[in-house]
Amino acid sequence: MTILIIGAGIVGSIYGWALAQAGHPVRHLVRAGRAGKLAEGIRLDLLDKRKGYPKRLVGSYAIRAVETLENPEEYALVIFPGHHYTMSEVLRDVVPRFSATDFLFLTQNWDGSAAIDAALPRNRYVLGDAKAGGSWKDGTLVGALRSVDIGAVSPESDALVARVKECFESAGIEALVHEKMLEYLWVQFGMTAGLWPSLVQAGSFDALFADRSAVTTALEATRECFALLEKRGVDLDEHPEVRLYRSKSRLLNFIAFLVIRQMFKHSEWAQRTSSHALSDPREVGAFYFDVLETGRMLDVPMPIFSSYRPIIEAFVGDEIHSIAPHR
């Protein structure tokens, strides 16, 4: 399967490397002037959680970058592994170039599928959530790779879901299929939006987990995000990953604190995939203000979550004008 990946960022480069290693022709569509800078490839330091693969890779990815699309129809799949607030650019500038090619949108989703539906029929796209990530350190992509979550908005896309699953699994990447993909993405979005402000306030993972009260407050803010999800119609009982965070029991809160601390302080996987948070104010701000605005629109009380607003505004700085029109 010939694959085009939009951009050469962290997630796209990790998946692109793995798919290329499996024999798929992979190209990355980059902005003008970027291809030359990638001519010597990308240095990689990856923690690889795929079954049957070496657990550590230190090497390089001979990335094939293009700046123009000379023959768009040669691609069987286009992958967009980007921020949700840049989706409109892709729908406007990239999607119309393809008359029959399928798309995988590996991006956070909070607004639903209406904008995508206006640009593509549902049998030509699926949604996904990356289980890969990392950060750039001294010119090296220091990251981790495990799996990918995918799912359709409607049954019209089921055949495409199967093809995308087969493609990723040919590279040893487990593809987990969700029946209610939009709900799954909203839950991940809400959890992230609820927990990130406390990290910004603390300034580091070590500082956050040295303050149990800060983690307790973060859990309270996350529960407010869950209440918002329920107002949107999400049945949280169908999402077992939130159970530990939902309880108001002191004992379970303490257990949640221990679990989260263990995960972020002692899991190299969590450290690598979360390390970018404090270096990307625009992403943090977009998550926070998207959820805050939806809470206001749906009249859901979010006093703890709202209390982080001055901290997020200071962290985001001048970027706030481009991500928070309703702030």
Domains and CATH numbers, the chain: 3-179 (3.40.50.720), 183-320 (1.10.1040)
Q: For every one of its 327 residues, what pLDDT tens digit does the chain have, with 9 covering 90 and above?
A: 899 999 999 999 999 999 999 999 999 999 999 999 999 999 999 999 999 999 999 999 999 999 999 899 999 999 999 999 999 999 999 999 999 999 999 999 999 999 999 999 999 999 999 999 999 999 999 999 999 999 999 999 999 999 999 999 999 999 999 999 999 999 999 999 999 999 999 998 888 888 888 988 998 999 999 999 999 999 999 998 888 777 777 776 677 777 777 766 667 888 888 877 788 899 999 999 999 999 999 999 999 999 999 999 999 987 665 665 444
Query: To 10 degrees, the CA torsion angle through 184, 188, 191, 196?
Result: -170
Residues 6 or more apart from 119 whose CB is under 8 A from it?
91, 92, 95, 96
- For the residues of 243-296, what is the DSSP string, one character each? HHHH---HHHHHHHHHHHHHHHHH-HHHHHHHTTGGG-HHHHHHHHHHHHHHHH
Distance CA 196, CA 243 (A): 19
Q: Strand pairing partners for 26?
A: 3
pTM of the model: 0.93
Both structure tokens of 259 = 């679990």
Distance CA 250, CA 254 (A): 6
Contacts 24+ apart (CB under 8 A), 89-92: 90/6, 91/115, 91/116, 91/118, 91/119, 92/119
Both structure tokens of 179 = 């029946």
